[in-house]
Chains A and B, each alone.
Chain A
């Protein structure tokens, strides 16, 4: 689960990371009030108005603006609130901005990157710093990997002070700024651990001309598997940031991702679902979605799956691919027949059932008056997809 910048900053601040003061606003008036408060309480003369969406690249898309007066904050807030912000992560339609963060501006002497994540190869957390702050860290990793320094945290002893010092020295800091950076690193790691994050990132972490270390941006991804022990964090979920069809699918226990192709698919198991998408491409189509029905391919889930797939007007054919283990294929076939009674499946349907009771399942489908193409082995299913697309 992703969090907004303002939510991540709140978590980091609670653990002791120094974050510039900021106030969240959902209307222009609230943004103006926020700026006035920062002016009165902090003597702020410089403000940043920041769109709160989950995608990265907000600045380049026009979602982050500098303001030198309360009046300028009003203008920027008016521009940004309600805009469809397009970044390299949103897709062409963009993401509607419903919330902005108004923060006190910070003078920047030097920008750094600081992040914590899991290193899968070592099964340990890695903390990374780079002197190339404010830049996409993946770009740094590709173009100048020597500019990234990392330490790995042994889970049996946790982060040690010497490791935080190593990183702060690698940032080239000294004096009070060095001490502040060590403290920021330890605080960020504490936030990562306490929230069961899979990613906690400050980019940029800045040094001001006065030698202060501040987190100007913040990003957190939470481990969905650990949300059961963080009800407070689960409440931070913003459904506006998620695809409504994906949310709807989730309510039915389906894992769905919308794609741009013309052949819909419904599969049990994530690996087989990806392989089915690959097969559709090899058969001359393009996958319209990823859809894993999970372990329980019942009549209800199959029907819900069809409804979601068929809501996409680009779909010319649908491939149902089930490898029955615990799931019995005759049950799935009955589910398909029941679902077909309730919804109008107006595109060619290819059903491939294999595994437990596959023969019985195929017989049920073949004997019904439902118009579909059935297959047993994967290659036949692929050929049927090609044939269906040829007729479409």
Chain B
């Protein structure tokens, strides 16, 4: 088993015929992901990469039984694309697009929740269940099927962690890049809950970074609800204060945006804290 994507995943690619969409759709198909259709408004009826192109997500869902969408639509139109997917009944919506205005994401976030769909991202590398489905832009060759779940706010740092874990002799049940934006569809706690309920995930690696308080929220969840061991790394111990996080963002979360505060919260919650990013794989190996 796994979370979010598996052998039953049927993918529709939004922004299918654009250069990004085309490149990554091809990579996903090569990996063996079941890409069933694409959507580009105005190009319905065409065929692209041997797949049908539809004008709307609703048609792709109706005609091809698509249950998962991945979005490569430019930032000004991406929030609309997410809403269209949710409205069409997609169960999992993965938004790769970077640079969506925060104001667009606030109503979109609440709309997707109301529809009961899982939104991953935006500004994320996607989701992969090795050996079953890659719905994202990550380099496939570093992943191996296995039992370690990965949740990360970053792209390349996720690859770094995955590579170390694979080298340590473990594979991944599912790796989820939740994205680095202030408003994201799936937060650490949401992904932790899914992994806790997955019998094939024996441990979870959580990769956070400075800013916000999602990691503290995750720590509370770990303490109260999780039996699966969690390993935590937070990037940015050496980052200067005040450069990435907004001043008033700090006040709402009670000034808890530092790496030290997040490490401390995870440690107190019983997670295994990894302070050296070069030792993520080794630490997992020693414990599991």
Contact = CB atoms under 8 A, between A and B. Distances in A.
Interface string B86-128: 0000000000000111111111011100000000000001000
B63 to A, nearest CB: 31
28 contacts: A56-B247, A89-B242, A117-B252, A118-B102, A118-B252, A121-B214, A137-B251, A141-B250, A141-B255, A145-B254, A199-B246, A199-B249, A223-B103, A226-B104, A259-B240, A270-B209, A271-B207, A272-B154, A274-B209, A278-B237, A278-B277, A286-B238, A287-B238, A324-B139, A325-B138, A354-B160, A354-B163, A379-B278
Nearest to B138: A325
Interface in A323-354: 323-326, 354
Contacts of B156: 267-269, 271-272, 323, 325
B79 to A, nearest CB: 11
Interface of B: 75-76, 99-107, 109-111, 125, 137-139, 141-142, 152-160, 163-164, 167, 180, 182-183, 207, 209-210, 212-214, 217, 233, 235-240, 242-243, 246-255, 275-279
Nearest to B233: A275
A236 interface: no
A154 B242 CA distance: 28
A272 B157 contact: yes
Given A120-B182, A120-B252, A355-B139, A272 B76 contact: no
Task: Output the residue of A115, A119, A281, A286 with the most chain B CB within 10 A.
Answer: A119
Contacts, number: 190
Interface of A: 56, 89, 115, 117-121, 123-126, 128, 137-138, 141-142, 145, 148, 150, 154-156, 193, 196, 198-199, 201, 221, 223, 225-226, 228-229, 257, 259, 267-272, 274-275, 277-282, 286-287, 290, 323-326, 354-356, 377-379, 381-382
Nearest to B100: A225
A226 B102 contact: yes
A324 B156 CA distance: 8
A278 B255 contact: no
A267 to B, nearest CB: 8
Task: Output the residue of B235, B240, B277 with the most chain A CB within 10 A.
Answer: B277
A117 B253 CA distance: 11
Contacts of B180: 270-271
A168 to B, nearest CB: 20
